[in-house]
Chain A
Amino acid sequence: MNDIKSDPLLTTARYLLGIVMGLCAFAGTMVIIGLGALLSFERDRLLAKLAAAGVAEGGYIAVVAAFVLIATMIALTFLFLRELFRIVQSVERGDPFNPINADRLRRMAWLNLTIQLILFMLAGISASIGDFRAALLAEDAFSIATGATLLTLVLFILARVFRVGAEMRAELEGTV
């Protein structure tokens, strides 16, 4: 078994992933706090702002829904990064081709697909509110979609590659 603990790329990736996961946790906490505020003491202020902006009646619900979706998206991103972090750890241990990593990659593909769907939903909500960032957000969501779709496909393929690799390795085990 190869021991590649000193690989600087993997070490850097692990640290970066740790930082981004930390940022995700922070952002998620902030969004949840913001959601709590919107549902309680900031509710009246938001309703006034929406009314001043001429947003339709369901605007408040749409904003709350957007916050819930954003919090969900951040949580899913965190889970996606955690799976990637664990894959990096397994590579550092010199044991990347195992069925667990194949399952991780498949989960990452589904997570990515879900995140993408949430982005579409967010774009729809933004468009329905018609706020000043609606058009921009919708455009971003669609431009992200192409890359994300490709990433989902790549992850599903990689999951299959890892599964076959794990099977091949299992075959080699016990060979002297």
Chain B
Amino acid sequence: MPIAVTLDDRLHDKRMTLTELAERVDITLANLSILKTGKAKAIRFSTLEAICRELDCQPGDLLAYQTH
């Protein structure tokens, strides 16, 4: 998929683990892991909002469009 999820980088910047983020945004670790590994087919605005809130970033900081 040409959309890459850069959640791992943001987590690294914030020194936060995926488990910690999962607890904060009230999303299962399994689902967050699907998002992190780029296996998700879609993302809810509510999920995006919660992640942006907790990581203090913009949606564009989490997603990137790759041409190849």
Contacts and interface: CB of A to CB of B under 8 A. Distances in A.
Contact of B32 (A172, A174, A175, A176): A176
B47 interface: yes
Nearest to B48: A176
A175 B39 contact: no
Nearest to B31: A176
Interface in B24-39: 27, 31-32, 34-35, 39
Q: For A174, A175, A176, which residue has the most chain B Cβ atoms within 10 angstroms?
A: A176
A171 to B, nearest CB: 8
Sort chain B's interface into a size bin.
10 to 19
Sort chain A's interface into a size bin.
under 10
B42 interface: yes
A7 interface: no
Interface in A91-110: none
B41 to A, nearest CB: 3
B3 interface: no
Interface of B: 27, 31-32, 34-35, 39-44, 47
Interface of A: 172-176
Given A176-B31, A176-B42, 6 more contacts: A174-B39, A175-B40, A175-B41, A175-B44, A176-B27, A176-B32
12 contacts: A174-B39, A174-B40, A174-B42, A175-B42, A175-B43, A175-B44, A176-B27, A176-B32, A176-B34, A176-B40, A176-B42, A176-B44
Q: Which 10 A-B pairs have the closest CB atoms?
A: A174-B41, A175-B42, A176-B31, A176-B35, A176-B40, A174-B40, A176-B47, A176-B43, A176-B34, A175-B41
